[in-house]
Amino acid sequence: MVPSKSSGYLRQRATTKSKTKVATSIGGDEAVSERGTDKGVASKTVSEGPVNEDDELTEEPDGTLQLTDNEIMAAQEHSQLVQQMLKAGSYRSMKVESLFGLVFIHTARGKRVILPPALWSIAFKELHGSIWAGHLRGPHTYGRVSQLYWWPGLHGEVNRWVRGCQECGIRKARPRQVIPPLRSLRGGDVGDRWALDVAGPYPVAEGGERYVIAALEYVTRYAVVRSVTRHTADDVTTFIMEDVVLKFGVFRELLTDGAPEMTGLVLDQLVSLLQAKQTNPVPYRPQMIGLVERFHRSWKDCVATSMADDKQNDWSGWVQCTPITQQTTRLWR
């Protein structure tokens, strides 16, 4: 049963009364759906017309940002946009149907819930601004949103939201186009090559941590990170054994930047014990291990947008959450 709620239900979720009007026409998404249905659904498209007052974007959600099925069903019931598409039965050759009270659309990537405009801001905040999303850029955010929801003009709406994010604008720098002078290294099999690097010192955290050790696998771009109080050879080798070898298996090659703690006897003996090879590129040239260096910048941006303490001593608690923002995002190209 679809819960019956008044049209003022969605507006009660907002802490402010200011609202932003939705575009007056229905945009298009690049997805292509399966053609034809067994039930002979009409193939006419939804007429492009003005969106009524129920299809307004709420600014600030109250309470949790995670949308429930009941909330989505109530919003879809009062959305003229969703009801027009459901009545037509299709949108640009994509089948639209109601299942278990929710309105779905069949895209080339599978069934997706049609999200009404009133819930767009809540979905954006959860899938872009939360600690699990990490304030990533447009392609990453679009990949995360498109795994769950769909609406006309999704790609453009996501890009506009990311460009207007205040936290991203304050912290993140404009990416520069870099033409590498050397060829990329071959990845080999999964787990064969790992890159290792140490970043710091940073402000002393509550637990005394000042440095961050990060390792990144070259094929899957899987990242492992740990905050430590020191960055000696013993700390590095302990990190390699506990967080890399014992969890993902023995590697064949380890890339480092030639720092003193990376070239000592302790690490050399560990690599020999694992029957692996350590590669030290040109000393102190971070471009040679650019993947793990770029990951350092990514987790710094995520932590900087999540810290709430002016003393900046709570960063170590957020560092462990940052790899999931990279590993749970799928880029749709």
What pLDDT digit, counting tens, does each position of 93-132 carry? 899 999 989 999 999 889 999 999 999 888 888 888 777 7
Point out the domain boundary residue: 171, 202, 223: 171
Report pLDDT for 294.
81
Q: Residue 228 maps to which CATH number?
A: 3.30.420.10
Count of the separate structural domains present in the chain: 2
Same domain, 198 and 165: no
Q: Is residue 332 part of a domain?
A: no
Same domain, 143 and 206: no
Same domain, 321 and 241: yes
Same domain, 164 and 198: no
Q: Is residue 188 part of a domain?
A: no
Point out the domain boundary residue: 137, 171, 205: 171
* pTM score above 0.95: no
Q: Residue 61 maps to which CATH number?
A: 1.10.340.70
Q: How confident is the model at residue 213 (pLDDT cuts 50, 70, 90)?
A: very high
Same domain, 15 and 152: yes
Tokens of 332: 């749709």
- 12-30 confidence digits (pLDDT tens): 443 333 333 333 333 334 3
Report pLDDT for 7.
38
How many residues in total does the chain contain?
333
Q: Is residue 306 part of a domain?
A: yes
Angle (nearest 5°) at CA 308 between 303 and 310: 105
Are 118 and 55 in contact by the 8 Å Cβ rule? The answer is yes
Give residue 90's domain range: 10-171
Q: Is residue 4 part of a domain?
A: no
Q: Is residue 136 part of a domain?
A: yes
Helix (H, G, I), strand (E, B) or coil at 131: coil
Q: Which residues pair with 95 in a beta bridge?
A: 90
Tokens of 87: 């009545």
Q: How confident is the model at residue 31 (pLDDT cuts 50, 70, 90)?
A: very low
Same domain, 202 and 322: yes
Same domain, 26 and 166: yes
Same domain, 268 and 155: no
Same domain, 227 and 291: yes
Q: Is residue 1 part of a domain?
A: no
> What one-letter code names the amino acid at 111?
K
Mean pLDDT of 163-171: 76
Calculate the CA 135 to chain-centre distance: 7
Same domain, 275 and 241: yes
Same domain, 206 and 150: no
Inform me whether the pLDDT recorded for 324 exceeds 90: no
Q: Is residue 289 part of a domain?
A: yes
Same domain, 203 and 315: yes
